[in-house]
Structure formats: C-alpha cells, structure tokens
Chains A and B, each alone.
Chain A
Amino acid sequence: MIDKIGIEQFMILSTLMFFIGVYGFLVRKNLITMLMSVELILNAVNINFVAFNKFYYPQNLQGHFFAMFVIAIAATEVAVAIAIIISLYRKIRTIDVEEVDEMKY
C-alpha cells in the first residue's frame, strides 16, 4: 500500500525535479526551453501538494485544489509567456535570452 512508500520519497522526488527545473532555467539559452523548465518546477510543487494532502489531510481536498489552481495558473503563464516570446521574435528575430539585454544599465 501507499504507506510503504512514505512521504519522504515524494518529497525527495519533487526536490530533485524542482532543482532539475532550476538548472534548466539557469543554463538553457532558448526562451522556450526556459519556459519548459518552469513547467518542471511547477509540477514538482504540484506533486508535493498532492502528497501532503494524501498523507496528512485526507478529510479535505485543499492540496488537490491547490494543485488544480497551479495548473490553471501555469496555463495562463504559458499563454502570456508565449505571446511575449512571439512578439519578441517578431521584433529582433531571435529568442536567445542572452541577446535580450535591452534592460541593462
């Protein structure tokens, strides 16, 4: 049963997933792949929410709903981010994050 797994395993899984996402965010130069890294990070958080809900608060569904809202917000975030990326691409014909330094000093 589930109690043979233990919450630590879930948390370690989500931690690793989270930091893989962070790594991707830090090294990937393409804006779309950075966006995908962000999705990894959000999913790691989702797993945590759901696991806690399952393990400690089975009488309620808070973790479940939080995970749902995170998914919804991730959807909006992707929509807006892709709009920005496309508009950026249209302007400077690249989506390399290192080329986009208009905001420097």
Chain B
Amino acid sequence: MITESYSYTVAIPLVLFFSFLLIGLAGGKLKPIVSGVFGTFFLLVSTVLSYYTAYSYFFVDGKLNGAYQKLIAYDSLWLTFTDKLQIHMGVLLDPISVVMLVVITTVSLMVHIYSLSYMKDETGFSRYYSFLSLFTFSMLGLVMASNIFQIYIFWELVGLSSYLLIGHYYERPSAVAASKKAFIVTRFADMGFLVGILLLSSFTGTFDFLKLTDPNGSALTQGSAISFLGLSVMTWSLLLIFTGAAGKSAMFPLHIWLPDAMEGPTPVSALIHAATMVVAGVYLVARLFTIYVFAAPDALIFIGYIGTFTSLFAAVIACTQTDIKRVLAFSTISQIGLMMGGLGVSGYAGAEGLGYTASMFHLFTHAMFKALLFLCAGAVIHAVHTNELWEMGGLKKFLPVTNIAFLIGCLAIAGIPPLSGFFSKDEILTAAYEKDKILFYVQFLVAGMTAFYMFRLYFGIFWNKERDYHSKPHEAPFTMLFSLIFLSIAAAVSGFIPFSEFVTPDLKPFESHIHWSIAIPAIAIAVIGVTLASVLYRKDSDLPDKISISLGGLYKAAHRKFYIDEIYMFITKNVIFNYISAPIAWFDRNIIDNTMNGIAAITNFISVKIRGFQSGQLQQYAYVMVSGLIIIVLVALYFMNN
C-alpha cells in the first residue's frame, strides 16, 4: 500500500547523509568537539523522527482490519534498464523496519553521546563522527529499503563503513588487518548474496519486497518447479541470500571477522558489531521470511540448524577467552545464532509465528543489553587501559555506576527475570521446543553457558583480586554514564513490551504468554551458570586453572577458537595462493604482459622502419598522391568496364 502521510520518513536517513557530508568535508576546519556535537544533533533529529514514526505506525494508523500494513512511504524510479528491469529507491514501513528504526537510532544516539567523551582525546575525532553518520545512514537505508536491490546497495555501504570504523586506528597493523579481514569475509559472503538476488529476481521477475513477500502473490510459486541438484531454484537462491546474511551476522563458518573487528573503538563495537550491523543478516532473513516459509522451508530448517550450532560453538569459545571485548564478541555471535535459530523454527500464521516474533524481540532486547555491555566494557577499558580480563579485578569500588550497569546487562543476557533477556529468550526456547527438540536442548544448554561466561566476565572485572593499577581507576565522565544509565533502563524494562502485539510474520497480532514449564528450567540453568561462575571467579583462586588443565586439549582448542582461523589461513595461503593465485600471477606476468609488450615492440619496430615516408618533402607527398590517384582511377575503370 502506498501512503503519502509517512513520506517524511525519507528524511530519517538523509539527514545523516547530510551530516556525513558536512562533517566529512568540513570536519578538518571544525573543532573536533563541534563536529561531534553536530553529528549527535543530526542523529537526535533522526531519532525523534523515528520515534514519531514508530508511535504513529503502531498506535495510530498502521493497522487496517486488525493487521499491520506494509506501507510504501516513498518511492522513486531510479534506473530503467528495460520495461521489466527497473530499480526503485523507496521506503518500506512494516513492523520490523519500524522496530529496527527505533533500535538503530536509539543505540546510535547513545553511542554518539558516549563517544563525545570516550573519543575526546583521540586523533581523527571528526573522521570518526562522519563515519558514524555514514554508518547510521546506510543502516537506516538498509532497514527501510523497499526492494532487494536497494537493500544490497546499503548492505555494501554498511560493510564499507564498518571497514572504515574498524580501521579507525589505521596506524596499528592489527587494526588494518582486522578491517581488511572483516571486509573481505563479508564481501566474499556478499557474492553469494548477489547471485541469490539475481536468481531470485530472474525467476520471480521483481525486486520489490511487496510483491516478493505477498503470500498470495505469484512470485512465490515461480521458480519452485525448476530444480537443480535436487533443490528447487527458490531454495538455492534463498540459501545463497542466507550466505550473505551469514557473512554479515557472523554465522559459522563466516564468523571469523567479528572477534577481530574488536580492534575498532569500543563504541563502534557496541554500535556496529553488537547492536545493529551484525543483526542485518537476521533482519534480511526476517524481511524475506514469507518466501522462506512458503517457497523454501528446507532452507529455513538449514538456517535454524546453522544458527543454533553457531550459538553453541561461540558460547564454548566465549567461556575460554580472556580479552573482555572478545568474550562479548563471541557472546554476540552466540546470541545472533539464537535469533537465527528462532527464525528457523518459526511458522507463518498466528501463534506459529512465535519464533519470528521471538527472534525480532530478542534482536531488540539484545541490541539494548549488548550495547550496554560494550559501553560498560568501554568504560572499564577507559579506566584501566587494558583489555585483558586477568589484568583487571576488584573494580567495583572504583566504578560503582559501571558496576551496576554491567550487572544489569549480565542479568539481562543471562535471562534472569524480570530483565528483558528473560522474556525474549523464553519465547525463542518455546518456539524451538514446539518445533524441534534437538534445537531446544542445544539452545537450553547455550542459555546456561551464556549465564556462566557473562558472570565469569562480571566477577573477573568487578570482584576477584585487586590488581596493581598504574593510576587509580576513576569512574567515567557524565556523558558516558548517561548512555550507560539510559541503556540499563532500556535493558531492564524492554522485556515488558508485548512484542507479539506488534511484530508477527503475518502482521496480525496474537496473544503470547510466558511458558513457565520452559521458563523455570531456563531460569534454573541460568542460576546454575551464575553460581558456578561465582564459585570459580568471585574470589581469586587456582580452581579455574586446574579445571582448564584437566580439560586439556578441549580447553586449548576452544581457547584457540577451534583453529578456524588457522584453517582459513591454511586454505587461503597454502591452497589458494600456491595452487591457484600463483599460477594465475605467473600467467599474468609472463603471458599477458609479454603479449602486450610484444605488440608494443612490434609496433615500435614497424614505425621506426616506415617513418622514412614522412620525409617532409612536399613534392614527394604530391607525387604519391598523384600516382595513387591514377592507380585508383585505373582500378575503378577496370571494374567499371567489367
């Protein structure tokens, strides 16, 4: 449905693009703090607009006959290749895009405010803010995209701004390597995404989400009939699109870039690598959910299993890491895996869509508490100037506010009621329980491990033994604390939002309630995890070391992240470089280059030989002209007479 009344939403991203241009072009001339304030101000405008949009969409006029509408708020024809192949730029408003608007602008605003003091003494402050604006612009464009081609464009822009922000400290080789790794891995995955888009659109004949995701439309039935290697073309294209989603959302085995991305500034990690960009994959699957569920249910099962496996895998690694940001990174991977798992077990109509709702709900709550945890970690790093867990400890008396905020975040992610994580995780578990018991048990285990490793982090930072600090750690300044407090409140109370009233796959609200038969065991395992962490890490003891030694190879493997990076290095360096790239490089240098050089040499040789004709003798030229003319006339006469 096309509506005029929301056309102002097009300004939500464009304001930030303007901010990017302004700060990016004029940033060198402004005082750093001025560009920071500019960026924050523009984001505030966009946040207010987003909140207003959410309010009017959900509570005023988004509903028609009891179901939310997909509204095209803005649409313009951008490129016309043929009559059928046209690319639009537009704004699509439906429950998930509106929820994402709120999530992105909220977290981004908090990060902007937080960074005002966190990044204060850094060089490249203006650059940082212009890239933050660029990122927020592209992320908002991504979620508001009205067609799959537009989403692809913003998808790449998001990847680009992530690359720029990870490489913020570009004089550090590790940051450069991390940014390149993130870009290459996601770009590699995006290749699958692009092929998937082309397949999907060539068989359905449209890029438009409204047509693609109409459950009664013709788009879903086309392509299902044609099969390749035992799977229908729709399944293939959707699996390829999921490859792109898995790259952005760090699903196994494309997760390797996310832990390294922690080389970027901590607020960037909070914004991009915890709350917004990495959930773009989840968002993409949710956006195309109708196609998945009707045209390729097998792809959806695959997604469910990949997500759940990733969440277990990342949780195991998270238990062994000692860099606090990396623990949070693996925790992020694990939670995104849960969201994917939730999508994988969801159905379409009515209460069967619980998994979808739960996944979006968890996306929302996770954005709040994971941003909170990252910003707290930033405050801790700000105070003690290290990322290593075992160089911290006993910080609770130096950083009281951060302590409370971090505790709230940990309780929320661990799923202790009444904090937000409990509600969303409960819905995911319920959906999994009703659909697939194996996934349920794995996710249940992951819930316990989440509680364990988060409280390992919490006790390790704030309790445990006090270390020798160079200078006395001090609490963060007010702008940082403001963000922490705001996000703490959000993380604490956002669980009470009745999400199934707003976000469902078929757009019709349904009643959902807490399933105590699942919730109570889940709380129990979370409490067990917390208790275990408290026994091991609350006081300084050698028990953890003993346990890790007794686990032997398993611990070592988990600590080394199951050698996935090494496998990648082996494949790229030894196999691809030696057996594919090296011969190609040889071919390029010897065959291609020599062919070109040979042509140039032959041309040069001939031209040296024939330049004598250009003697500068006027009469010679005239002679050639006259005799040539006579010859031409003779030839013409010869042919005319025959």
A and B touch in the complex (CB under 8 A): yes
Contact across chains for A104 and B622 when beta carbons are under 8 A apart: no
A22 in the interface (beta carbon within 8 A): yes
A101 in the interface (beta carbon within 8 A): yes
B623 in the interface (beta carbon within 8 A): yes
A105 to B623, CA, bound (A): 18
One digit per residue, 1 when the CB lies within 8 angstroms of any chain A CB and 0 when it does not, for chain B 606-638 equals: 000001101111110011001000000000000
How many residues belonging to A are interface residues under a CB distance threshold of 8 Å? Answer: 12
One digit per residue, 1 when the CB lies within 8 angstroms of any chain B CB and 0 when it does not, for chain A 17-28 equals: 000001001110
How many residues belonging to B are interface residues under a CB distance threshold of 8 Å? Answer: 11
Question: Which of A25, A98, A103 meets B622, CB within 8 Å?
Answer: A25
Contact across chains for B617 and A98 when beta carbons are under 8 A apart: yes
A12 in the interface (beta carbon within 8 A): no
A98 to B626, CA, bound (A): 18
Contact across chains for B614 and A97 when beta carbons are under 8 A apart: no
Q: Which residue of A lies closest to B610 (CB)?
A: A105
CB-CB < 8 A to B614: which residues of A? 103-105
CB-CB < 8 A to A26: which residues of B? 619, 622-623, 626
Q: Which residue of A lies closest to B627 (CB)?
A: A26
A103 to B616, CA, bound (A): 5
A27 to B616, CA, bound (A): 16
Contact across chains for A101 and B617 when beta carbons are under 8 A apart: yes
A100 in the interface (beta carbon within 8 A): yes
Contact across chains for A101 and B616 when beta carbons are under 8 A apart: yes
CB-CB < 8 A to A8: which residues of B? none
A102 in the interface (beta carbon within 8 A): yes
One digit per residue, 1 when the CB lies within 8 angstroms of any chain A CB and 0 when it does not, for chain B 363-390 equals: 0000000000000000000000000000
Contact across chains for B626 and A22 when beta carbons are under 8 A apart: yes
CB-CB < 8 A to A102: which residues of B? 616
Nearest-Cβ distance from residue A19 to partner chain B, whole angstroms: 9
CB-CB < 8 A to B622: which residues of A? 25-26
CB-CB < 8 A to A22: which residues of B? 626
- With a 10 A CB-CB cut-off, give which of B618, B623, B626 has the most chain A CB atoms: B618
A27 to B623, CA, bound (A): 9
Contact across chains for A105 and B626 when beta carbons are under 8 A apart: no
- With a 10 A CB-CB cut-off, give which of B614, B615, B619 has the most chain A CB atoms: B619
Q: Which residue of A lies closest to B615 (CB)?
A: A104
Q: Which residue of A lies closest to B612 (CB)?
A: A105
A83 to B623, CA, bound (A): 25
Q: Which residue of A lies closest to B621 (CB)?
A: A103
One digit per residue, 1 when the CB lies within 8 angstroms of any chain B CB and 0 when it does not, for chain A 79-105 equals: 000000000000000000110111111
A4 to B313, CA, bound (A): 114
A103 to B617, CA, bound (A): 9
A22 to B616, CA, bound (A): 19
Question: Which of B618, B623, B626 meets A100, CB within 8 Å?
Answer: B618
Nearest-Cβ distance from residue A10 to partner chain B, whole angstroms: 20
Nearest-Cβ distance from residue B604 to partner chain A, whole angstroms: 14
CB-CB < 8 A to A98: which residues of B? 617, 619
CB-CB < 8 A to B619: which residues of A? 25-27, 97-98
A81 to B614, CA, bound (A): 23
Contact across chains for A101 and B615 when beta carbons are under 8 A apart: yes
A26 to B620, CA, bound (A): 8
CB-CB < 8 A to B617: which residues of A? 97-98, 101, 104
A102 to B616, CA, bound (A): 7
Contact across chains for B616 and A104 when beta carbons are under 8 A apart: yes
Q: Which residue of A lies closest to B619 (CB)?
A: A26
A27 to B614, CA, bound (A): 19
CB-CB < 8 A to A105: which residues of B? 611-612, 614-616
Q: Which residue of B lies closest to A97 (CB)?
A: B618
A105 to B612, CA, bound (A): 8
Nearest-Cβ distance from residue B615 to partner chain A, whole angstroms: 5
A101 to B205, CA, bound (A): 68
CB-CB < 8 A to B612: which residues of A? 105
A22 to B629, CA, bound (A): 12
CB-CB < 8 A to A100: which residues of B? 616, 618
A77 to B623, CA, bound (A): 21
CB-CB < 8 A to A25: which residues of B? 619, 622
A103 to B615, CA, bound (A): 8
Nearest-Cβ distance from residue A81 to partner chain B, whole angstroms: 12
Nearest-Cβ distance from residue B637 to partner chain A, whole angstroms: 15
Nearest-Cβ distance from residue B619 to partner chain A, whole angstroms: 6
CB-CB < 8 A to B618: which residues of A? 97, 100
Nearest-Cβ distance from residue B609 to partner chain A, whole angstroms: 12
Nearest-Cβ distance from residue A11 to partner chain B, whole angstroms: 15
A100 to B620, CA, bound (A): 12
CB-CB < 8 A to B626: which residues of A? 22, 26
Nearest-Cβ distance from residue A87 to partner chain B, whole angstroms: 16
A60 to B615, CA, bound (A): 47
Q: Which residue of B lies closest to A101 (CB)?
A: B616
A27 to B622, CA, bound (A): 10
Q: Which B274-326 residues have C-beta < 8 A from chain A?
A: none
Q: Which B8-29 residues have C-beta < 8 A from chain A?
A: none
A27 to B619, CA, bound (A): 7
A97 to B618, CA, bound (A): 7
- With a 10 A CB-CB cut-off, give which of A100, A101, A105 has the most chain B CB atoms: A105
Nearest-Cβ distance from residue B166 to partner chain A, whole angstroms: 57
CB-CB < 8 A to B611: which residues of A? 105
8 contacts between A and B (CB under 8 A): A26-B619, A97-B618, A98-B617, A101-B617, A104-B614, A105-B611, A105-B614, A105-B616
Chain B interfacial positions (CB closer than 8 Å to A)? 611-612, 614-619, 622-623, 626
Known A-B contacts: A104-B616, A104-B617. Give 14 more (CB < 8 A).
A22-B626, A25-B622, A26-B623, A97-B619, A98-B617, A100-B618, A101-B616, A101-B617, A102-B616, A103-B614, A103-B616, A104-B614, A105-B612, A105-B615
The 4 closest A-B pairs by CB, nearest first: A104-B616, A101-B616, A105-B611, A105-B614
